[in-house]
Amino acid sequence: MDNLENLKVLASLIFPDVAENETVEYLETVFPKRNISENAKVTRMAPSPTGSMHIGNLYGALADERIAHTSANDGVFYLRIEDTDEKREVPGAVEKIIKYLGAFGIEFDEGASEDGDLGAYGPYRQRQRAKIYHIVAKKLLLEGRAYPCFCTEDDLKKIHDEQEAAKENFGYYGKWALHRDMPVEEAIEKIKNGEKFVLRFKSLGNPEKKIDFKDSIQGNLSFPENDQDFVLLKSDGIPTYHFAHVVDDHFMRTTDVVRGEEWLSTLPWHVELWRACGFKMPRFCHTAQVMKLDEETGTKRKMSKRKDPECTLGFYFEKGYPAKSVIEYLMTLLNSNYEQWRSANKDASYRDFQFKSSNMGNSGAMFDLAKFNDVSKNIIASMTADEVYENVREWASENDADFYKLLISDENYAKSFFAIGRGGKKPRKDFACWSEVKDFVSYYYDGLFKVEESFPANVPESDRKAILKDYAEVYSPEDDNSAWFEKVKAISEKYGYTSDMKAFKENPEAFKGSVTDVSNIIRVAVTGRNNSPDLCAVMQVLGKDRVLKRITAFA
């Protein structure tokens, strides 16, 4: 038998599931080029269903989604589930991915969904695509670009040890690739005998030669050609990532593969494999990793699920950060010109920004929790009292049942305290997330109110009591800001606390204190703190009974 006939026998032994007419050409007709406009980009998120969702996933998904949807009206962003490692799969992980991303406003146009698959390029779960991988692998085998390898763990270890001793590169390649040139008859024999094997790629690369590669984020790259005969199909017929992504991104017609820069090291493998399959390579965008400044060492390091709570997406839900804050901050990390655009387009949606992969940094995106909190404070400061109320209520309904009850017991009351200091040129920036709200507004509820801070130390108790007693007598809930202040000033003067701040600053010794001490006495009595939003407004919201009760308690 000639070699091709032998190869055909070998192929039918390895791929009994692939019929004669099931060829790569046939797949090309089943998954034709997409009928989309010239500029439209097709991107995908391709997570393993391990149940863990971290900020890097969201960062990548946002880049994918923006690239697809800013390219053209018919750009496509799809979800592919890379579930080849069954052991790591966690039930419900797909639903979680969709739900979590949906909570951040990131929706897929196509792909795996909660009730099956959506779209014409599926199945979108790799375990259901075995046949498709086998069709492509069969072609590679028949063309001499793949071969079965029967090496055991021990064989591979021996090769590794010998390479170490000989100070040669590790791996399965060239002269070290034991079964690369095994006669086909022998391979047939071994398979017939039930010997276990994997299918390896047969590399024709020469590491002395260089490949030039243009990455949409990293720019022009140059690296040695691959010579590794890496595994395409494992012994159970399941593909490795390297093989699966080539087949999937080709037949799902991805135009832009956006993935983490950890894949740059195996990019030479992928380039050779794409070419060997005869597929046109898509554009590649290798994204920088999300980094942070290590608090202990002061050095830049990769964000870690173990060390950094802000790494997992659950953190943002538990703390109650608005999705808008997270997206806004990630946009500033993703595109270098986003902040500039934002300052010129204050009220625009981030979706109006012209997102470009070429404006993505290639040196690690620094996630700074303090900066993120500032962004979030600004976002919350720009919300209306009604929006704040709705958001806090929703967060509390899932995270703090007691606070939730208080909030819904009197909706208008809550909205009126959320309204204080909102709007205008300099809105208050009191909280970055909803879990910070309860503490901030606790004094509006008698059940939560407590005196947390002390009265001004320079005011003797007798003065303090007299001041509060006098104030209780003149207080009127109808007082506007200036009437309120006039009363406080008058009481201040009566007890020797000047209302002339200029005079006080110049010669503080001449007075017992100033009007600030007096208003702070009222503030501590009413709110329990020496810092609060505009006290007159706070008292108007609290209402006559509460205010009088709290003041007289200390008078």
Residues that bind ligand GLU (CB under 6 A): 46-48, 82, 245, 259
Q: Shortest approach of ligand GLU to residue 84 CB, angstroms?
A: 9
Q: Shortest approach of ligand GLU to residue 132 CB, angstroms?
A: 17
User: What is the DSSP-derived secondary structure letter of residue 226?
Assistant: P
- Residues 6 or more apart whose CB falls under 8 angstroms from that of 79 comprise 44, 45, 97, 98, 108, 110, 111, 112, 113, 124
**Rounded to the nearest 5°, which phi and psi values hold at 427?**
-65, 155
Cβ proximity to ligand GLU: between 200 and 259 the closer is 259
Cβ proximity to ligand GLU: between 48 and 325 the closer is 48
Instruction: Tell me the C-alpha distance between 300 and 101, whole Å.
Output: 27
Considering only CA atoms, which of 433, 361, 483 is closest in space to residue 59? Answer: 361
Q: What is the DSSP string of 75-101?
A: -EEEE-B----GGG--TTHHHHHHHHH
Cβ proximity to ligand GLU: between 245 and 523 the closer is 245
User: What is the DSSP-derived secondary structure letter of residue 44?
Assistant: E
Q: Shortest approach of ligand GLU to residue 245 CB, angstroms?
A: 5
Q: Shortest approach of ligand GLU to residue 48 CB, angstroms?
A: 5
Cβ proximity to ligand GLU: between 240 and 416 the closer is 240
Cβ proximity to ligand GLU: between 284 and 434 the closer is 284
Q: Interior CA angle at 190 toward 186 and 192, to 5°?
A: 115
Torsion sign over Cα 167, 169, 180, 193:
positive
Q: Which residue minimizes CB distance to ligand GLU?
A: 259
Q: Shortest approach of ligand GLU to residue 285 CB, angstroms?
A: 10
Cβ proximity to ligand GLU: between 46 and 94 the closer is 46
- Is the separation of the CB atoms in 61 and 279 below 8 Å? no
**Rounded to the nearest 5°, which phi and psi values hold at 147?**
-155, 155
Cβ proximity to ligand GLU: between 82 and 272 the closer is 82
Q: Angle 267-277/241-251 helices, nearest 10 degrees? A: 50
Q: Shortest approach of ligand GLU to residue 249 CB, angstroms?
A: 8
Q: Shortest approach of ligand GLU to residue 53 CB, angstroms?
A: 11
SS3 content of the chain, % helix, strand, coil (to 5): 50, 10, 35
Q: Shortest approach of ligand GLU to residue 78 CB, angstroms?
A: 12
Cβ proximity to ligand GLU: between 88 and 465 the closer is 88
The tokens describing 151, both together, are: 């090496």
Considering only CA atoms, which of 124, 155, 140 is closest in space to residue 254? Answer: 124
For 103, what's the count of Cα atoms within 13 Å in the CB-facing half-sphere?
20
Q: Shortest approach of ligand GLU to residue 305 CB, angstroms?
A: 14
Cβ proximity to ligand GLU: between 71 and 126 the closer is 126
Distances (CA, A) of 485 to 216, 376, 473, 505: 62, 33, 15, 19
Q: Beta strand 219-224 with 283-287: parallel, antiparallel or unpaired?
A: unpaired
Q: Shortest approach of ligand GLU to residue 51 CB, angstroms?
A: 13
Cβ proximity to ligand GLU: between 259 and 292 the closer is 259
Considering only CA atoms, which of 466, 544, 478, 471 is closest in space to residue 512? Answer: 466
Q: Shortest approach of ligand GLU to residue 125 CB, angstroms?
A: 12
Instruction: Tell me the C-alpha distance between 537 and 276, whole Å.
Output: 73
Q: What are the strands, taking DSSP E only, across 155-248? A: 198-201, 210-215, 219-224, 231-233
Distances (CA, A) of 402 to 22, 291, 306, 395, 412: 62, 37, 31, 12, 18
Instruction: Tell me the C-alpha distance between 555 and 542, whole Å.
Output: 19
Q: Shortest approach of ligand GLU to residue 152 CB, angstroms?
A: 28
Cβ proximity to ligand GLU: between 233 and 521 the closer is 233
Considering only CA atoms, which of 184, 157, 158 is closest in space to residue 9? Answer: 184
Cβ proximity to ligand GLU: between 45 and 542 the closer is 45
Q: Shortest approach of ligand GLU to residue 24 CB, angstroms?
A: 21
Cβ proximity to ligand GLU: between 226 and 240 the closer is 240
